[in-house]
Amino acid sequence: MSAPSQLSKDPRNNYFDFGAARQVPETHMWEGLYEHPVVDGGVEAGEDAVPVVDMQDPRAAEAVARASEQWGVFLLEGHGIPSELLARVEAGIAGMFALPTPEKMRAERQDGEPYGYGLPHIASYSSKATWSEGYTLSPASLRAELRRVWPDAGEDYRHFCDVMEEFHRQMRAVADKLTVLFLAALGLAGEQIAAVEAERKIVETMSETVTMHLNWYPKCPDPKRALGMTTHTDSGFFTFVMQSHVPGMQLFRRGPDRWVGVPPGALIVNIGDLFQILTNGRFRSAYHRAVVNRDSARVSVAYHLGPPADVKVAPLREAVGAGKPAYRTVTWREYIVVRKEAFATGGSALEMVSLSPDDHDDEGDGADHISEIPS
């Protein structure tokens, strides 16, 4: 699917007062948003029903395999994260974005900075602005980062930090369990040496690279002309998306081309591009976007997991089998550069790092490791 073909000349997130807007300005107006039909992805939607995986089901690995191969996305149940905690996360994020503009702008992310108040970097790849606000955080520096918003470190600051740190602890525990299910879905039994080693390497690479992006999608006077998040695939291993009970996330599906609305309120898992590389194309990343609503604001949290920026990722030997690697060895840092080029040209980053049967990867066949982490 083609990506936006023109890069913004000013990638910084200059504040726009969404609350005062009575119409969508030209800077935020997107064309062709509804060239393809939008269908419901609920449980009664037949072939368009977004897959559901229950982590407590003894056959969960089979469900993960089907969903990852056919959709690249699934709804996760049985994860054990208290609904009360998720409600507090949503309320805390909504409260933070409701702060006066000068307080949020104290934490504005500047060029070259990975964290702070501002839209995700992918928003800078388009010439149009999105109808959203964002804040990118690393759990490792969460309290120091949020002091930029609340320099007095008062009660609101302490409460929000406590909630987000508990959310991180719960999500990391689920991520580790889901990694085991992913490996089982690839046919690697938990007692096999290869499975144990692959699990250790993947978990270790994700141990210090979690990123949380908080999203706020304000009410929009003309939602058919605005977009909350541009169409994209996630670049890392996989992403959890916690969303509120206001619908907004849509998945792009082919045969025929259509947008499938993801049921609101559920915990979503998106396969990332690097996981597609890791599984040699067996598990597929999915194009998705966020739309906006006339009557209600919407909150979501994207909890991204992936390797350190300079760790080399290549197809697992077990995923390649008797065949050949479909992708060359690449680091996340290198892949982000390729991805930016793909957005600029309307191409596919995955196709740009793919190997033809006659290609030779200078790093070797890439099938016996996910990275250069010593054993």
DSSP 57: S
Answer yes or no: 294 catalytic.
no
**Number of residues in the chain:** 375
For 221, the token pair is 């006077």
Q: Which residue has the tokens 């939607």?
A: 45
> What is the rounded CA–CA span in Å between residue 239 and residue 142?
19
Q: Which residues of 81-114 are buried (b: 16+ CB within 10 A; e: fewer)?
A: beeeebebbbebbeebbeeeeeebbebebeeeee
Judge whether 178 and 240 are in contact, CB under 8 Å. Answer: no
Copy the structure tokens of residue 347: 């191409």
Contact 306, 94 (CB under 8 A): no
From 298, 317, 328, 333, active-site residue: 298
The residues near 157 (Cβ < 8 Å, ≥ 6 apart) are 146, 147, 149, 150
Catalytic positions: 298
